Amino acid sequence: MLNVRAAFGRAYPRAIGAIREPSWTFFDVLLPLLGIAAYIYYYRALGADPAFEGFVVLGGAMTAFWLNVLWGMAAQLYWEKETGNLQLFLVTPMSRMALLAGMALGGMFAAGIRALSTLLLGILLFNVNMVVVDPLLLVAVFMVTLIAIYGMGMMFASLFMLYGRDAWNISNLLQEPIYLVSGFYFPVKALGPWVSLIAAVIPITLGLDAMRQELFGPVANGLMPVVWELTILVVLAVAFLVMARWSLEYMEGLGRKEGRLTLRWQ
Amino acid sequence: MAVTSHLRTLRQAAWLGWQMESNWTRPWLFIIYSIVRPIAATLILVVMFLVVKQGVANDPLMFTYTYLGAVFFMFVAQVLLGATYVIMEDREHYQTLRQIYIAPISLHVYIIGRSLSKVLLTSLSAIISMAFGLLVLRLPIDLLRVDWPLFALSMLIGLGCILSIGIALAGITFLTAKHSTGINEGIGGVFYLFCGTLFPLTVLPPWGQSIGMAIPITYWLELMRRSLYPAGGIETISGLGEFSNPAILLLLAASALVFLGLSLLIFWFADRMARKAGKVDMTTTY
Amino acid sequence: MPPAVEVTALSRVFVGKSPVVALDNVDLDVEEGELFGLLGPNGAGKTTLIKILSTLLLPSKGSAKVLGYDVAKETSKIRPLINMVSGGEISGYGLLTVRENLWMFSQFYGIPGKVANERIDALLHAFGLEDKADVKVRTISTGQRQRMNIIRGFVTDPRLIFLDEPTLGLDVQTSRAIRDYIRTWVRSQEGRTLLLTTHYMREAEELCDRVAIIDRGTILACDSPEGLKRRMNRASTFVLDTTHFDSSVISNIAGVKGVSAEAMKEGLRIKLVVEDESAISDIISSVGASGGKVLGLNKSEPTLEDVFIKLVGRGLE
């Protein structure tokens, strides 16, 4: 019960904080639409199949989650350390996984609203057509993808906890390069079988590929059948959660040993 | 006296900016880190092109148009990021903004100085991207035929203009909380969409084209393309074919001046608002 | 019943280019129900000790037990029973209200919502912060923020609370309110223990049942404030007012155990601890010889500050 309360306690500021500062709607929903629109017009200029415009909207919506994983998860414990909160969290009896789960749940909620807004506005503004073949499979892919990418974020959070600005910088580095190799705006298969298979270690790659296949059919040029992708995603989700737990324990122990849990302004 | 003081501020701020950006790791790692992101952003567009057109040779003019737009847009994205992060980092992270704010220096000069490291690093990214474009992607650009004077002059005016827009955004950042997406990306998005960065202006609806024609970045990117690829026919697809090079240069200079004035006004207003609302040294993490 | 804190031969070294010995072979016991003070200058090792006891840092050598549990191995048993507040800390999130921040931290201890809210209300009232309960934390003053931090520490009703410089930089009234609450809290229920670090002599003297004087990672003495003062037995304390001069010459005079000079508007106020009162005539002569002039000399009752000067050889401030 303690850990459920703790997770909810940590999720609260995420959920309420993101809504309370109203400027987020402008910054996090309307402004990213500009980039999405640019890519859509780019595809139009190239004479691409209209489904590609749908790829962009879907990729743009999932960007909300990916950015949240990078900035709200991976770099967060580092940020908590910098602001002095980390030591207060670590003297509490809650499980560290509950802390990360709270961050993830709150983050998913906030990013979910953003993703949904982006998706709806994108569909409305650019007349994107999506046909859901198997809604249950789509929901399963989406949920497992979320668990897997947030699991990955939890693992990064623990790994980056003790490091200085490297954490921030690695998060920074995982934006455009991941949009590229994970195929946020085009079928990932276009990168060739080897690059796309290596990129599949990042769960968002297979998640996006599967969702594209579910929503746009054969034009999505999928990397492998959706059910296979779902299975791999489940394995990745479990693996990242286990690694997150392990790395968190290890890094906290290391931090206590080296006195780096409370070191600021690195 | 004032000029000396501004130069000193500029030098110190540039040094500080460089230190803050680079002191976390070894220099070579820092350089790689700094150029990977913008180059990846350019490669996304390359792959999008290839997915649809199946090869550069199938539409070399359009490819050159997009590639050059993407390469020079890095300056817009990175400088705007640098300028807004001056405020965000100094205020939220290092919490030194209040000391800088009350110091007897020009905040405009400080912001420009801090952004200069971004200009330097973006130049490196742009050079590498151009080399990649020429050698690997076979961009049809002949370096001996480049109109270098036009390129240099346009680059100078363009950079000045981008820095002045950076000042305005830094001002607005005074008033906003820390979000995952910053105003820099938002305004950058406006320029990305409306300035003919990736696709000719004519693809946009008429109202969108009008917005693009009012922004200096549109003319700057056009001049970058025309100077690097003279007589290549870029102007035939850009939607600005009716304007000669001097006319576009004039349009760039005039619109850049208007933007400079606007930026100073926005900064002044935002600064006053921030002081009024007590937001100069707020922290907004959640 | 085990002591609330039991520290044996504890050392902590921060390794690096130039290793820093923050704690050096420290032995210390704090009994349950005690209001215990660690008194020492900045960098003495107080915060390092608190961090070790609150499970944030591992010892390099030696052992430390909190409420009978080993800080290195039994953290999960210690954490539900303790809490920690540091002076000047910025806890929680600026976008949340005072109440929301306190509630959030209470959840990290698994306190049921109703109980948490009742405690928060009672503590906000006790610290005069009710009117700020629903105000965003980023808009409240430093003093109000520190009162919120203190409430955060007590809202979990710990058996042992660590307060690291809790009144640092606060005004007199707020500091007094905090001290009053601390005293009441420890006495109101059996088994509550408080370990306080401070470099304010008065605070330690006024609050603590026992005080340990710590400097450069070593405990120099540990006793009740009265007990510590009694250690001054043969030593005498004087306050010497002079015009400005180089007071460092005094510490070299035979019989002088400690000197602490404070610059005043019209000259220096020098606190002296001497083993032999006959040293006073030498001191007065040295003032004249160094270009100073004696403005006044008074014998004083020993304070904790005098004990500190005697033990450390210099003043605290």
Rounded to whole angstroms, the Cα distance separating C85 from C88 reads 9
Tokens at C45, concatenated: 């090792």
Long-range contacts of C248-256 (CB under 8 A, 24+ apart): C249/C286, C249/C289, C249/C290, C250/C283, C250/C286, C250/C287, C251/C313, C253/C279, C253/C282, C253/C283, C253/C286, C254/C279, C254/C282, C255/C279, C255/C282, C256/C283
Q: Which residues contact C16 (CB under 8 A, 6 or more apart)?
A: none
Q: Over range C206-234, report the average pLDDT.
A: 87
User: What residues in A contact C84, CB-CB < 8 Å?
Assistant: 87-88, 91
Q: pLDDT tens across B267-278, in order? A: 999 888 888 877
* pLDDT tens, residue order, chain A (266 aa): 888 999 989 888 888 876 776 666 677 778 788 889 999 999 999 999 999 999 999 999 999 899 888 888 888 888 788 778 888 888 899 988 898 899 889 888 888 988 998 899 999 999 998 888 899 999 999 999 999 999 999 998 888 776 766 777 777 788 889 999 999 999 999 999 889 989 999 999 999 999 999 999 899 999 999 999 999 999 999 999 999 999 888 888 888 888 777 665 44
Q: How far apart are CA A56 and CA A186, in angstroms?
A: 7
Residue C284 C-alpha, separation from nearest chain A C-alpha, in angstroms: 48
Q: Between A258 and B142, whose confidence is greater?
A: B142
Residue B180 pLDDT class (50, 70, 90 cuts): low
Give the best residue of A23, A82, A88 to mutate against chain C (max C CB count within 10 A): A88
CB B47 within 8 A of CB A188: no
The mean pLDDT value of chain C amounts to 88
Per-residue pLDDT, averaged over C49-64, amounts to 93
The alpha-carbon gap from C145 to the nearest alpha carbon of chain B, in Å, equals 14
Q: How many CB atoms lie within 10 A of CB C125?
A: 11
Q: How many CB pairs under 8 A join A and B?
A: 133
| Domain range C233-301, CATH architecture | 2-Layer Sandwich (3.30)
Q: B37 contacts in A (CB within 8 Å)? A: 172-173, 175-177
> Using CB atoms, which residue from A48, A177, A187 is nearest to B40?
A177
Of B51, B185, B200, the CB nearest to A187: B51
Name chain A contacts of C56, Cβ cutoff 8 Å. Answer: 87, 90-91, 256, 261-262
Q: Residue C91 pLDDT > 80, yes or no? A: no
What pLDDT does B224 receive?
Answer: 96
Nearest CA in chain B to C101: B286
- Provide the Cα torsion C155, C156, C157, C162; round to 10°: -90
Cα of B80 to nearest chain C Cα, Å: 26
So what's the ipTM on this one? 0.87
pLDDT score of B110: 87
Segments making up each domain of chain C, as ranges: 5-229, 233-301
Phi, psi of B242 (to 5 degrees): -75, -15
Between B236 and C275, the more confident residue is: B236
- Considering only CB atoms, B33 lies closest to which of A27, A68, A173, namely A173
Find residues 56-115 of chain A whose CB sits inside 8 Å of chain C: 83-85, 87-94, 99
Alpha-carbon distance of C294 to C238, in angstroms, equals: 13
What does residue C193 show for φ and ψ, rounded to 5 degrees? -125, 145
Q: How far is A119 from chain B (nearest CA, A)?
A: 17
pLDDT band at C204 (very low <50, low <70, confident <90, very high): confident
Identify the band that residue B286 occupies on the pLDDT scale cut at 50, 70 and 90.
very low
Which tokens go with A34?
């500009």
Closest CA relative to residue C59, chosen from C129, C113, C6:
C6
Which residues in chain C are closer than 8 Å to B286, comparing Cβ atoms? 93-96
Closest CA in chain B for residue C140: B282
Q: Quick one: pLDDT at residue C130?
A: 92
- A12 interaction partners in chain C (CB closer than 8 Å): 96, 100, 103-104, 107
Output the six-digit token pair for C203.
């605070």
Chain C residues with CB under 8 Å of B285 CB are: 93-95
Please tell me if residue A254 touches chain C, with a CB cutoff of 8 Å: no
Q: A166 and A160 in contact (C-beta within 8 Å)?
A: yes
For B74-105, what is each residue's pLDDT tens digit? Answer: 999 989 988 888 888 788 777 777 777 787 77
Q: State pLDDT tens for residues C155-195.
A: 999 999 999 988 887 888 888 888 899 999 998 888 899 99
Task: Find the mean pLDDT for residues C20-27.
Answer: 92
In a 3-state reduction of DSSP, which class is residue C7?
A: strand
pLDDT of residue B175: 80
> What phi-psi label fits residue C35: left (phi over 0), alpha (psi between -120 and 50 degrees) or beta?
beta
Q: Which of B24, B189, B198 sits opposite A42 (nearest CB)?
A: B198
Question: Which residues of chain A are within 8 Å of residue B283 when distances are taken between CB atoms?
Answer: 83
Interface test with C, best of A162, A256, A266 (most C CBs within 10 A): A256
Around Cβ A5, how many Cβ atoms within 10 Å? 21
Put simply, the answer to whether B285 touches C90 (Cβ < 8 Å) is: no
Kindly report which listed range (A48-62, B76-90, B170-184, C197-211) carries the lowest average pLDDT score. B170-184
What pLDDT does B182 receive? Answer: 67
* Locus of tokens 């148009």: B65
- Give partners of A (≥3 CB pairs < 8 A): B, C
Delimit the domains of chain A by residue range: 2-258
Q: What is the fold of C5-229? A: Rossmann fold (3.40.50)
Contacts of B278 in chain C (CB under 8 A): 139
CA-CA-CA-CA torsion sign (A252, C163, C69, C5): positive
Please, what is the angle between helix A76-83 and helix A165-173, to 10°? Answer: 150
d(CA A239, CA C43): 44
